[in-house]
Structure 1
């Protein structure tokens, strides 16, 4: 099974054509200001970055491990600052280089516990003291279909409950909200809300958004 912290082959092929839908609440970024240094980690094809640009945010950078998604973003939004991550989660930026980090539907694509902790540690490094981490991700669904596949995958592969394989080959994770909170020992929670999204395969699903401030 490919490294569950990356899954580059999937994102450079099937995943490169997906549509991502998690909404960004611009009000949550109001305290940061339009000149905030923002990093969109796992930016995909730059959807959220483009929205921020349309609303006056002037210093936005995006990185993704998929060269195919970055190329798609460059075709659609040639004005965006997009870069391919060569050795995720390592970032080519100095400590405290950003005021805001966005992490939209990324943890669901990094189902391994150690890989998630390594990612958050790297984002904590590049985030300035008092900076904001804005997470949007999938929570455990309570329908029979999802419960069955969570249980089957955990039994077969001994993965955390909530991990499963999609029909087109990605291994993803839905979270108990407490699991997301546990990833943030260096942060204070500012805001939290539940929301509805469409998954990358078009199914309605519940998600959570967290806004946390680095101590």
Structure 2
């Protein structure tokens, strides 16, 4: 059984109660002009958009598949623009529309290989040449709890690292080789690892990448 590539029903129901905590790296953000056009793809309830506004960015747009999350984002961050993705991952924007894009804890919510490739290709299209892509997501976690569920769900989903949470989300933790191959249209500028908490409050290690569109 392949992993699902459409989990909008989850994000319009159970997902609206989640808290997302992957932090923005202000040093990386400082590489971007305050007047730059920014895209927060998979923006959820607008937390990251709010962080960007707080840093002085003025042109921030967030998109997400879940209308319920977008409604919350519009209420909490009225200075940003938000839109529901009608045909994900397609964005109704011309090529090269954005100077930088942010993809925070989104790939983990898109477990299918082809769906991830399509998403990255779309971000490559809408970023200008040299535009920056900020990634924050999960590689395979070494602790026994995660290793156990990777093994448990491998036969069901056909990939080690894809699993279902106790409340019904299908998520993916990645090999480093997969991430390296996924972003072949980008050059790596910087990378770091840091402790975070998952949307269910579990401690984990996030990998953050700063990439430039080739």
TM range (shorter): over 0.9
Q: Distance in 1 between matches of 2:4 and 2:16?
A: 17
Deviation, 1:85, is 0.4
Change (3 A) 1:7 1:58: same
Separation in 1 of the partners of 2:68 and 2:3? 18
Matched residue, 1:181: 180
2:72 alignment counterpart: 72
5+ long unaligned stretches in structure 1 = none
CA positional deviation for 1:27:
1.1
CA contact (8 A) 2:157 2:163 kept: no
In 2, distance between residues paired with 1:198 and 1:157? Answer: 24
Do the aligned residues in 1 keep the contact of 2:153 with 2:162 (CA within 8 Å)?
Answer: yes
Distance in structure 1 (CA, Å) of the matches to 2:171 and 2:3: 12
Aligned to 1:195: 194
Deviation at residue 6 of structure 1 after TM alignment: 2.2
Deviations along 1:58-85, whole A, 9 cap, x unmatched? 1110000000100111122222201100
TM-score normalised to the size of structure 2? 0.97
State the SS of the aligned residue for 2:20.
coil
Shift of 1:7: 0.3
Equivalenced residues, count: 214
User: CA 1:3 to 1:151, structure 2 compared with 1: closer, same or farther past 3 Å?
Assistant: closer
The aligned residue for residue 166 of structure 2 is 167
C-alpha distance in structure 1 between counterparts of 2:166 and 2:160, whole Å: 18
Q: Residues 80-95 of structure 1 correspond to what in structure 2 (within 5 A)?
A: 80-95=80-95
The residue aligned with 2:52 is: 52
> CA–CA distance in 1 between the matches of 2:83 and 2:2?
23
> After the TM superposition, which of the residue ranges 83-92 and 171-180 deviates more from structure 2?
171-180
Kindly indicate whether the alpha-carbon contact (under 8 Å) linking 1:6 and 1:65 is maintained by their aligned counterparts in 2: no
**Could you tell me how far apart the structure 2 residues matched to 1:62 and 1:10 are?**
19
Listed one character per residue, the Cα deviations across residues 1-41 of structure 1 (whole Å, up to 9, x for unaligned) are 89722201000000011000000012102222111111000
Q: What are the Cα deviations for residues 62-118 of structure 1, in whole angstroms up to 9, with x where unaligned?
A: 000000100111122222201100110000110000010100000000000000000
Q: Which moved more, 1:168-177 or 1:3-12?
A: 3-12
In structure 2, what is the equivalent of residue 130 of structure 1?
A: 130
Partner of 2:208: 209
The alpha-carbon deviation at position 145 of structure 1 amounts to 1.3
Contact preservation (8 Å) 2:187, 2:211: yes
- Using structure 1 for the length normalisation, give the TM-score: 0.96
Partner in structure 2 of residue 36 of structure 1 = 36
